[in-house]
Amino acid sequence: MRSKDKIAYYYDGDVGGVYFGPNHPMKPHRLCMTHHLVLSYDLHKKMEIYRPHKAYPVELAQFHSADYVEFLHRIKPDTQHLFSNELAKYNLGEDCPVFENLFEFCQIYAGGTIDAARRLNNQLCDIAINWAGGLHHAKKCEASGFCYINDLVLGILELLKHQARVLYIDIDVHHGDGVEEAFYFTDRVMTVSFHKYGDMFFPGTGDVKETGEREGKYYAINVPLKDGIDDTSFTRLFKSIISKVVETYVPGAIVLQCGADSLAGDRLGCFNLSIDGHAECVRFVKKFNLPLLVTGGGGYTKENVARCWAVETGVLLDTELPNEIPENEYIKYFGPEYSLRIPNGHIENLNSKSYLSTIKMQVFENLRCIQHAPGVQMQEVPPDFYIPDFDEDEQNPDERMDQHTQDKHIQRDDEYYEGDHDNDQNMEDV
């Protein structure tokens, strides 16, 4: 047992300032709300806070096709009408709109997950958190389900430079299809997704029968659930499956996607999980004492998303948060109770004990088919992703390093948004 976990937390206020457009359910503003709860509970004092670097196009192209990355870089709201063929090709449109600062948004959230993975690789922390990440639907050559760049795949690729095996766990209400697809043919990554399946629910994949192919056969695990699952059923199933997975697969690191749309009352979800139930999964994964990368994901009732990820930050810090929410920039969103608890869900639980037992038995059967802890011939560790060279001596000393570069490794005072230059204080409710 480690004496005390060292936690690195990645945040850049700019991610919370982007706007997907009117009526779009994705509200990045929830990230500012989460951060302010973290600050108001003084959790930042127990972690190292970092501003992530903006991932370079060449880093994003470690998974995504170069032409797709280049198009995301180039496309702007006022020019998109000129590119109707490309928009269709890359699946940009209603679900994945082109908005102001889209590419920078992708660079920041992906940069956070890549930085988190590198920090774990270099053993500079035990747990790394990037609530802006977890955009699990993005594919190699296209956007999908509000996701443009798949930061999780990029983070896992980074971890694979140092780890023989990485375990990916996803508790978003939607199937983690983009991550599963990226690693469907390899035993170096085991993907485990707990999600709603059936009734044409997005993305339509994630049947228990989808288990991987070729070298990856049985290394994709899907736990398809029906509407209304509650804390007791979900956490019992989660713990028994994840225990068996860790025992069988023996991962060197874990990536945990904590999509909060599996909470009761989510605008797009259909489960009955409380924040305590959701957070219990995080607590359980932490107990394995393996290098752990934690991200956000879905979540469309934004005040509940913020509550959930603040509580889960506390869980990772072994800190229980008082139920009464302290005064903060966004306190008005948490009224009238101003408490961390959320109302119970009232969706009928369609997951019978026999259904859940059958799913568990099928998963265990698949796990019995794999050799214990597949070996991998380790090569020389490749370097961290390429960073373009520049000659410091040729630069004007006043311009040598832009503000963002200076900021990226230090905790900033203005990150707490308590002054006149608060980036978010004039934000309307988007």
Concatenated DSSP letters for 145-181? Answer: TTBSS-HHHHHHHHHTTT-S-EEEEE-SSS--HHHHH
Q: Name residue 70's beta-bridge partners.
A: none
Which of 347, 348, 268 has its CA nearest to residue 302? Answer: 268
Contacts of 348 (CB under 8 A, 6+ apart): 227, 228
What residues make up the domain containing 340?
Answer: 7-369
95 is an annotated ligand-binding site residue? yes
Cα–Cα distance, 251 to 293 (Å, whole number)? 13
pLDDT at 401 over 90: no
Q: Name residue 9's beta-bridge partners.
A: 49, 129
Pairing state of beta strands 253-257 and 220-225? unpaired
Cα–Cα distance, 368 to 365 (Å, whole number)? 5
Mean pLDDT of the region 21-25: 96
Cα–Cα distance, 195 to 189 (Å, whole number)? 19
Locus of tokens 């020389």:
380
300 is an annotated ligand-binding site residue? yes
Cα–Cα distance, 304 to 260 (Å, whole number)? 8
Summary count for the chain: helices (H), strands (E)? 12, 8
Q: How confident is the model at residue 414 (pLDDT cuts 50, 70, 90)?
A: very low
> Is 406 a domain residue?
no
pLDDT at 423 over 50: no
Tens digit of each residue's pLDDT (9 = 90 or more) over 353-363 = 999 999 999 99
Q: How confident is the model at residue 419 (pLDDT cuts 50, 70, 90)?
A: very low
389 is an annotated ligand-binding site residue? no
> Is 155 a domain residue?
yes
> Is 203 a domain residue?
yes
pLDDT at residue 343, as a whole number? 87
SS3 197: coil
pLDDT at 10 over 60: yes
> Is 376 a domain residue?
no
Cα–Cα distance, 306 to 356 (Å, whole number)? 30
Which of 178, 151, 166, 174 has its CA nearest to residue 219? Answer: 166
Q: Cis check for the bond before 336: say yes or no (omega within 30 of 0).
A: yes
Work out the mean pLDDT of the chain and round it to a whole number: 90
pLDDT at residue 381, as a whole number? 59
pLDDT at residue 391, as a whole number? 43
Percent of the chain with pLDDT over 70: 85
> Is 427 a domain residue?
no
Question: What CATH number corresponds to the domain at position 141?
Answer: 3.40.800.20
420 is an annotated ligand-binding site residue? no
- Token readout for 402 is 């832009």
**Which of the residues are catalytic?**
137
pLDDT at residue 87, as a whole number? 98
> Is 391 a domain residue?
no
Percent of the chain with pLDDT over 90: 84
Cα–Cα distance, 60 to 7 (Å, whole number)? 25
Concatenated DSSP letters for 287-354? Answer: TT-S-EEEE-----SHHHHHHHHHHHHHHHTT-PPPSBPPP-TTGGGGTTTTBS--PPP-S-----HH
Tens digit of each residue's pLDDT (9 = 90 or more) over 108-131 = 999 999 999 999 999 999 999 999
pLDDT at residue 390, as a whole number? 41
Q: How confident is the model at residue 4 (pLDDT cuts 50, 70, 90)?
A: confident
Contacts of 429 (CB under 8 A, 6+ apart): 29, 333
Contact 409, 50 (CB under 8 A): yes
Locus of tokens 């994003």:
60
Tens digit of each residue's pLDDT (9 = 90 or more) over 229-269 = 999 999 999 999 999 999 999 999 999 999 999 999 999 99
Q: How confident is the model at residue 385 (pLDDT cuts 50, 70, 90)?
A: low
pLDDT at residue 376, as a whole number? 59
pLDDT at residue 422, as a whole number? 40
Contact 251, 163 (CB under 8 A): yes
CB 217: neighbour CB atoms within 10 A?
A: 15
Tens digit of each residue's pLDDT (9 = 90 or more) over 50-86 = 999 999 999 999 999 999 999 999 999 999 999 999 9
172 is an annotated ligand-binding site residue? yes
pLDDT at 410 over 80: no
- Token readout for 399 is 């311009």
Mean pLDDT of the region 166-173: 98
Which of 94, 256, 112, 287 has its CA nearest to residue 170? Answer: 256
166-170, strands of its sheet edge to edge: 48-50, 7-10, 127-130, 292-295, 253-257, 166-170, 189-196, 220-225
> Is 308 a domain residue?
yes
Question: Largest alpha-carbon pair distance within the chain?
Answer: 70
Q: For the chain, what is the domain count?
A: 1
145 is an annotated ligand-binding site residue? yes
Which one has a higher pLDDT value, 386 or 309? 309
> Is 384 a domain residue?
no
Mean pLDDT of the region 345-351: 96
pTM of whole model > 0.85? Answer: yes
